[in-house]
Amino acid sequence: MKLNIAVLPGDGIGPEITQQSVKVLKAVADRFDHEFQFDDALVGAAAIDLLENPLPEATLDLCLKSDAVLFGAIGHPKYDNNPDAKVRPEQGLLKLRKELGLFANIRPVRTYEKLLDQSPLKRERIAGADMVIYRELTGGIYFGEKSTAEDGKSAQDLCFYSEEEIDRIAHLAFKAAQQRRNKLTLVDKANVLETSRLWRKTVKTIAREYPDVELDFLFVDNAAMQMILNPKQFDVILTENMFGDILSDEASVIGGSIGLLASASVGTKNAMFEPIHGSYPQATGKGIANPVASVLSAAMLLDHFNLIEEANAVRKAVELSIKLNVCTEDINKDNHYSTEKVGDFLEGLI
Amino acid sequence: MKLNIAVLPGDGIGPEITQQSVKVLKAVADRFDHEFQFDDALVGAAAIDLLENPLPEATLDLCLKSDAVLFGAIGHPKYDNNPDAKVRPEQGLLKLRKELGLFANIRPVRTYEKLLDQSPLKRERIAGADMVIYRELTGGIYFGEKSTAEDGKSAQDLCFYSEEEIDRIAHLAFKAAQQRRNKLTLVDKANVLETSRLWRKTVKTIAREYPDVELDFLFVDNAAMQMILNPKQFDVILTENMFGDILSDEASVIGGSIGLLASASVGTKNAMFEPIHGSYPQATGKGIANPVASVLSAAMLLDHFNLIEEANAVRKAVELSIKLNVCTEDINKDNHYSTEKVGDFLEGLI
Ligand SMILES: CC(C)[C@H](C(=O)O)[C@@H](O)C(=O)O
Ligand SMILES: CC(C)[C@H](C(=O)O)[C@@H](O)C(=O)O
């Protein structure tokens, strides 16, 4: 298969981890006789520094015409602590999601036997936990109209959802549930928000088309608690943009490190693959960032093009590396390997 | 001291737990020679059933002229699963918070030595955790304009904040930090939301008046993760309405049961005290609900009127009950006591 892959390393640890996935993907191309073409482009703070634009035209063009985007991370503290900054790295990511129409962000969460004791949660609570979060990614309060009053003394953000936006991701989530344990949990705040009531109503209607999937509902506050009390209860979680952002970061504690969590963002035409961790600026350049989240995102990329054997080879490599403790310091305190060494090891296993 | 206390038992387990706190407060009045006058009123689903209004005029009037409100819980599944319901129990609670001007919801989170092993989190992560969450309670997306389109195909909720709304709760939170470990963490999503940037800017300005308090910032997704990874890092958390709702339910896992978490909601004139758990409909009438969250809310009521010795007596009683395992089944699996028995025991200790 021939694939054009746009590589957007971005900020902080983005470049160093993305480099490892590119290595792994190249090894996959070699072994399975594919032709993967990689093209780098600027995004985020890196792009602002050079071009004053977190998503330069050239980057967007490249992404639009590529088969897939491999994304690193975005964000820089110099913007976070400046509420007056007019241009921010995150705008690059948000605009990219919007322009590529990536409405569904898919975030699998699982445990590894070897890492069960790394989690802050007790082993018996998490052993066997295996869920996937379907987070709506191009709507809600992230993209609604936002403004600050002239006098700077008030501000607002609008959370808007249409039936259509809910529909398309809900179908994906129900279908995923059918391939898994046939359970879907909608997380919302329907006792307070009008948009949540629209979600509940729309998803209930769609559920009739999937009679083999059991549907239940949780308020987001309760879900944030249940995620820790009993993560094994979840199979597929479906939720809106902001709640999905919060819950998936929270869920990262189950696996033992946020450095393990991959994601795929899909639309009707394009697809992007990115670790759920951020740019982790404090770690930049130190060789301590865990490349696994990015490498597993690359595996999701392979899945996306139905290269299942290839994706499984990548996942197997990751599993072995964890089993053998060839891991970065987030999950291997005593005798850790560098970002690059872990990447080399994974590459070697393909 | 003479206090008029409005008692709003509400829905689900609300009545059974509130009854225990009233018993305890009566014992306090007896022992410390105070005059507490209790007046019951309807709220929530209970009020809708009788008067088609989740917050009847008479209830609001009573609350307005009382010194304090003791609140049970609100919510009923028959409304949760009906997105078309025009009147909902929660409106009663939200309206009450608004009408009484209860802008700051204060939620302390701590651990009990005896319960450390009850938590899904490992002992070493939580032992000694002790934080208080200041949640803004009368603004944000809870109270912004909300609507559904005529055709029912889209909906929206507005998140609005003014500097003034942020100011008043921020001062309370900084003052609380000064009485504690001098650390305040603002939780927001300033990399995406305009309102969050207003929070960050306003709180930074106010921080200058409290040079002895160390201020830091966390994005809400990261905060949801940090809450589990390392809860001991937190002293005072300050955040907006929705984020506070999510984070405080999540934080309940630290103590081992949401049935232990109390809250005070304060404004300039009025104050209300309620457990953070909800109406827990499945448990209603079974005598299994934990009254401690409500009893500790009553202790916060006593604190509020500077009855510190009295409040400490209540907290001591709770601590002893936990030490002796006189607890409901959420924290005592083998040999549990009923809601009423726990209430009797606490009453007896005053
Ligand atoms: C960087 C930020 C805008 C982003 C988000 O909130 O979506 C990140 O937290 C994520 O989850 O991908
Ligand atoms: C019942 C509901 C409206 C309420 C809220 O979300 O504020 C509850 O969850 C709480 O935290 O007090």
Model pLDDT for residues B134-167, shown as the tens digit of each residue: 999 999 999 999 999 999 999 999 999 999 999 9
**Which residues of chain A are within 8 Å of residue B158 when distances are taken between CB atoms?**
156-159
Nearest one of A255, A248, A236 to A274, comparing CA atoms: A248
Identified catalytic residue from A39, A67, A249, A344: A249
- Which value, to the nearest 10 degrees, does the dihedral of the CA atoms of residues A216, A220, A225, A226 take? 10
pLDDT higher than 90, residue B335: no
The residues lining ligand 1, judged by C-beta closer than 6 Å to any ligand atom, are A 74-75, 90, 93, 245, 276, 278; B 191-192, 221
Set A142, A161, A210, A280: catalytic member: A142
Question: What's residue A79's pLDDT?
Answer: 87
pLDDT tier, B334 (very low <50, low <70, confident <90, very high otherwise): confident
A118-122, A238-242, B140-144, B222-226: lowest mean pLDDT where?
A: A118-122
Alpha carbon distance A281, A271 (integer Å)? 26
pLDDT tens profile A185-222: 999 999 999 999 999 999 999 999 999 999 999 999 99
Instruction: List, in sequence order, every residue forming a beta bridge with A134; answer none if it has no partner.
Output: A106, A238
Residue of B nearest to A277 (CA): B222
Q: What proportion of chain A, given as a percentage, has pLDDT over 70?
A: 100
Pocket mutation for ligand 1, best pick of A43, A90, A135 (most atoms within 8 Å of C-beta): A90
Mean pLDDT of chain B: 96
pLDDT of residue A83: 72
Amino acid A256: pLDDT = 87
The SS3 assignment for B161 reads strand
Q: Tokens for B190?
A: 């300033």
pLDDT at B239: 98
Report all structural domains of chain A as residue ranges with CATH numbers, in order of start. Answer: 1-102+266-350 (3.40.718.10), 120-147+154-255 (3.40.718.10)
Q: Do B155 and A160 touch (CB under 8 A)?
A: yes
pLDDT, mean of residues B275-293: 95
Whole-number pLDDT of residue A186: 98
To the query of whether residue A245 is one of the catalytic residues in this protein, the response is: yes
For residue range B176-221, list pLDDT tens digits in order: 999 999 999 999 999 999 999 999 999 999 999 999 999 999 999 9
At what angle are helices B241-255 and A241-255 packed, to 10 degrees?
20
Predicted confidence (pLDDT) per residue in B16-52, tens digit: 999 999 999 999 999 999 999 999 999 999 999 999 9
Question: Is the model's pLDDT at B314 over the cut of 80?
Answer: yes
pLDDT of residue B83: 73
pLDDT at A81 over 80: no
8 Å CB contact between A255 and A261: yes
Nearest partner of A271 among A11, A70, A130, A119, judged by Cα: A70
A112 assigned to active site: no
Is B39 annotated to bind ligand? no
Distance separating alpha carbons of residues A92 and A103, to the nearest angstrom: 16
β-pairing, B2-10 with B35-40?
parallel
Q: What pTM does this model have? A: 0.96
B100, B267 in Cβ contact below 8 A? yes
Which residues are CB-neighbours of B350 under 8 A, at least 6 positions away?
B24, B27, B28, B30, B31, B313, B314, B317
Give the pLDDT of residue A170. 98
Q: What residue of A is the nearest CA neighbor of B188?
A: A80
B246 in contact with chain A, both atoms CB, cutoff 8 A: yes
* pLDDT tens, position by position, B99-111: 999 999 999 999 9
> Mind telling me how many Å the CA of A231 is from chain B's nearest CA?
10
Q: Using CB atoms, which residue from A154, A194, A242 is nearest to B161? A: A154
Q: How far apart are CA A32 and CA A283, in angstroms?
A: 34
d(CA A204, CA A321): 42
What is the tens place of the pLDDT at every residue in B228-269?
A: 999 999 999 999 999 999 999 999 999 988 999 999 999 999
Ligand 1 atom with the shortest distance to the CA of A263: 12
* Average pLDDT score over residue span B260-282: 96
Q: At A118, is the pLDDT very low, low, confident or very high (cuts 50, 70, 90)?
A: confident
Quote the pLDDT of residue B186: 98
Backbone angles phi, psi at A274, to 5 degrees: -150, 145
Unique residue bearing structure tokens 């509020």: B304
Q: How far is residue A141's CA from residue A163's CA, in Å, rounded to a whole number?
A: 15
Q: How far is CA A177 from the centre of its chain?
A: 18
Q: Which two tokens stand for residue B102?
A: 């209860």
Residue of the CA atom closest to atom 9 of ligand 1? A245
Annotated catalytic residue within B189, B235, B303, B337: B189
Rounded distance between C-alpha atoms, residue B219 and residue B201, angstroms = 14
Q: What is the mean pLDDT of residues B325-338?
A: 92
Mind listing the pLDDT tens digit for each residue in B68-114? Answer: 999 999 999 888 777 778 899 999 999 999 999 999 999 999 999 99
Query: Which segments of chain B are extended strands (E)?
Result: 2-10, 35-40, 68-73, 104-110, 130-136, 146-148, 154-162, 183-188, 214-219, 236-239, 262-266, 271-275
Q: Which atom of ligand 1 is nearest to the CA of A245?
A: 11
Q: Which of residues 101-160 of B touch A (CB under 8 A)?
A: 120-122, 125, 141-142, 144, 146-148, 152-160
Residue A344, annotated as binding a ligand: no
Ligand nearest the Cα of residue A278 is 1
List, in order, residues 6 or more apart from B144 with CB less than 8 Å away.
A156, B157, B158, B159, B160
Residue nearest to atom 12 of ligand 1 (CA): A276
Specify whether the CB–CB gap between B327 and B335 falls below 8 A.
no
Q: How far apart are the C-alpha atoms of A84 and A74, rounded to whole Å? A: 19
For a pLDDT cut of 90, what percent of chain B falls above it?
A: 94
Structure tokens at B27: 């014992």
State what percent of residues in chain A have pLDDT above 90. 94
Q: How far is CA A255 from CA A95, A110, A126, A128, in A?
A: 30, 6, 8, 10
Which numbered atom of ligand 1 lies nearest the CA of B219?
Answer: 9
